[in-house]
Amino acid sequence: MEVANRISFIDQLKGITILLVVIGHLIEHNAGRDNFLWTFIYSFHMPLFMFISGYLAYVTFRMERFNFFNVVLYLGKKCRTLLLPFLTWGILIPFFLLRNIDKSFGMYVYDYIYHWGGGLWFFATLFILSVLFVLYKGGERILPKQNMFWDTLILCILGAFVVLIYKCFTFPHVLEIFSEGLRSTISYFIFYFAGVLVGKYKWLDVFFTNKKIFSALLPLFIVLLSQFTYDMSSIFNQAMKVVLACLAISCMGYIVTHITWNKRIDDVVQCFGRESLSIYVTHNGPFAFMLFLKDVLPLSDANNLYSIFLFLLISLFISWIAVGIKKVLSLSSVLSFLLYGKKLYLKENKK
């Protein structure tokens, strides 16, 4: 793919993925999990998000000199764009602004970290994966050759390191607070770094551009999905989800790059893609009440076309509202910094 096409492809894919996230939350809060549409979405939507994040991490990584100072700057930016919104929306707003917490600040922070931020877990997990990505880039620079074998070796070492840390942290009770976060990191490690490898090796584009591969993988995904049960206590179902997610990522990539987009629809989807993290954090925070609509709309059933259309329509509306809220709040550089991790400009530029 050409560079311009790759950028559009990623924004389109991110836009579709964030819509699936909102639809999935809508279905769960109004119709429950016992329906095909929810199972379909949850079989791959967050692995796809992690894949995209890994891809973007590689293709946008700019560091002329890989040294301690530049690594600190890179991780500092990740703290600002990922951890700051994670803490602001999850701790500062509920505890100090909404004042709807009936426990001490210390206990609330402990519970928040222990449960890995609840609905905002994605930000913390992505931060840890970003740290691992820096370690990967460091290992990449000392490799004797740049090829898939050495990359696989580095990733196996990194994966084993995370598993080892997880085992160490879950043994002493005092460190168990981080166990959920490390478990989440292990779950999405393969998808994030699959995106990294696709960003690095252009020959892997074949999984998103080859019609024969798509024609083989799509029927396989449909057949396996019909046998899939979302029960992550089963090792078989965990393995099935990994397979389904890999198949879906390839199929979604092919579909997005080969359909003819209406310009107006394309603009909306790409806008949602560029604002995906803002939509994710906004609709999960104090504005999550927008997801609970079964008392005012017929949303208790997700197994018919009318309900599916209604869920899509409401998800589009919620996403637009989330983008609008972000634009209004971002008029203040301080709020833009705290809520969305944007750069803080205390002085206006004089023309």
How many other C-beta atoms can be found within 10 angstroms of the C-beta atom of residue 261?
13
Among 113, 79, 112, residue whose Cα is nearest residue 341 = 79
Mean pLDDT score across all residues of the chain:
87
Task: Render pLDDT for 58-103 as a digit per residue (tens, 0 to 9).
Answer: 998 877 777 888 899 999 999 999 999 999 999 998 888 876 677 8
What value does the mean pLDDT take over residues 47-51?
96
Question: How is residue 123 written in tokens?
Answer: 């930000």
- Residue listed under structure tokens 């309900």: 307
Task: Render pLDDT for 130-171 as a digit per residue (tens, 0 to 9).
Answer: 999 999 998 888 877 778 888 999 999 999 999 888 877 665
User: Which secondary-structure segment (H or E) carries 58?
Assistant: helix 45-59
Say what the pLDDT of residue 347 is. 65
Instruction: Determine the Cα–Cα distance for residues 276 and 123; give it in Å rounded to an integer.
Output: 12
Give 102 or 258, the one with higher predicted confidence: 258
| Residue 351 confidence class, pLDDT cut points 50, 70, 90 | very low
Range with the poorest average pLDDT among 31-35, 71-75, 265-269:
31-35
Instruction: Determine the Cα–Cα distance for residues 168 and 161; give it in Å rounded to an integer.
Output: 11
Q: Is the pLDDT of residue 57 over 80?
A: yes
Instruction: State the maximum Cα–Cα separation within the chain, in Å, rounded to a whole number.
Output: 63
Spatial CB neighbours of 238, under 8 Å, sequence gap ≥ 6 = 232
Q: Is the pLDDT of residue 240 over 60?
A: yes
